[in-house]
Amino acid sequence: MRPYLLGLALGLALLAGAGATTWWMLDQRALARAATTYDVPLEPVDIPTDDASRAEGERLAWLHGCHGCHADSLQGKVFVEEPRVMRLVAPNVTQAIRAYSDPELARLIRHGVKRNGTAAFAMPSGGFYHLSDTDLGRLIAHLRAAPVRGDTWPPTELRILTKVALLRDEVPTDAGTMDHAAPRIGASGDTSLVGLGRYRASTICTECHGITLRGQDNAPALVQALGYTLPQFTALLLDGRARDGRDIGLMGTTARRRFRRLTPREVEGLWHYLRAMPLTSSP
């Protein structure tokens, strides 16, 4: 090989090696960022054993989207599959929770923190945090009673664009952004109609509409409910129909799969709460 060609080849090889080393270092930094741990203490939780509590726990699981993300029988599913972004897998709950104690499972639900202390991606714990102890116990009772399924899935995989976003602090998790010591709405003891509405809004609506219910991404601010009469609002929540009767996409699907399980008092409470909610404060 001629000397200049040899020099060019060596130069390219060095550049390739430097590029590979740089990417490896960035990759390791991104994985380390994803492996950040959160020191959230375990708390005791009472799990009921009666059939009525488990039945209510099943209703709550549907309302809060457990069966949406983890599939109808909690067998898990591939939730996101984007070639350069990530594979996000909602695990098989019926198998995964067998490794969790009740306090560990309560922490996972309320705080989005797994057994090893790392954050659970896409776990909407900012809302679940406000669950009352009673409702959390019922929910866990239902999850524990679910028949074990044998479904297996590939692991969650963070790919190049997500890793770059991690390094730029553009992939927030609830575990990393929420206040783990904030007053819990479900512990307020407010049993009024508006109090019930506030509780349900804070635990089932914040996932899409933001922790302050002022909207996020493509989900509108819930102050828009001010324009609905109670019958119209009931049709919105239970059937997913806007005031003019049209189906409204994701909200329509969510309403028919999840929110149709709301009781009439819960629907009325939500309507009254949203009408009374200050326009510039958190829920």
Is the model more confident about 162 or about 46? 46
pLDDT digits (tens, 9 = 90+) for 96-148: 999 999 999 999 999 999 999 999 988 999 999 999 999 999 999 999 999 99
Rounded distance, CA 135 to CA 132, Å? 5
Whether 280 has a pLDDT exceeding 80, the answer reads no
Q: Which amino acid is at 59?
A: R
- pLDDT (0 to 100) of residue 205: 87
Q: pLDDT by residue (tens digit) across 35-80?
A: 899 999 999 999 999 999 999 999 999 999 999 899 999 999 998 9
Distance CA 27, CA 18 (A): 14
Tell me what pLDDT residue 281 has: 52
Q: Which residue has the higher pLDDT, 258 or 30?
A: 258
Q: Report residue 7's pLDDT band, with 50, 70 and 90 as the boundaries.
A: very low
pLDDT tens figures, 174-217: 999 999 999 999 999 899 999 999 999 999 988 888 787 877 77
The rounded distance, in Å, linking the Cα atoms of 181 and 185 is: 12
Is pLDDT of 16 > 50?
Answer: no
pLDDT number for residue 242: 83
Amino acid identity for residue 105 in this structure: L
Structure tokens at 122: 């896409």
pLDDT single digits (tens) 211-223: 878 777 777 777 7
pTM given for the model: 0.86
The pLDDT of residue 217 is: 75
**CATH homologous superfamily, domain 190-276:** Cytochrome c-like domain (1.10.760.10)
Cα–Cα dist 77/219, whole Å: 24
Question: Per-domain residue ranges for the chain?
Answer: 51-177, 190-276
pLDDT at 282 over 80: no
pLDDT above 90: residue 225: no
Considering the domain delimited by 51-177, tell me its CATH architecture.
Answer: Orthogonal Bundle (1.10)
Q: What is the pLDDT of residues 229-277, one digit of tens each?
A: 999 999 999 998 888 888 888 888 888 999 999 999 999 999 999 888 7
Q: How far is CA 171 from CA 32, 76, 121, in A?
A: 14, 23, 9
Rounded to whole angstroms, the Cα distance separating 57 from 145 reads 10
Split at pLDDT 50, 70, 90, the class of 27 is confident
Q: What is the mean pLDDT of residues 85-104?
A: 95
For the chain, the straight-line distance linking the first and the last C-alpha, in angstroms and rounded, comes to 73
CA angle 201, 66, 77 (to 5 degrees): 140
Residues 3 and 55: their CA atoms lie apart, in Å, by: 79
Strand, coil or helix: what is 84? coil
Is 70 exceeded by the pLDDT of residue 4?
Answer: no
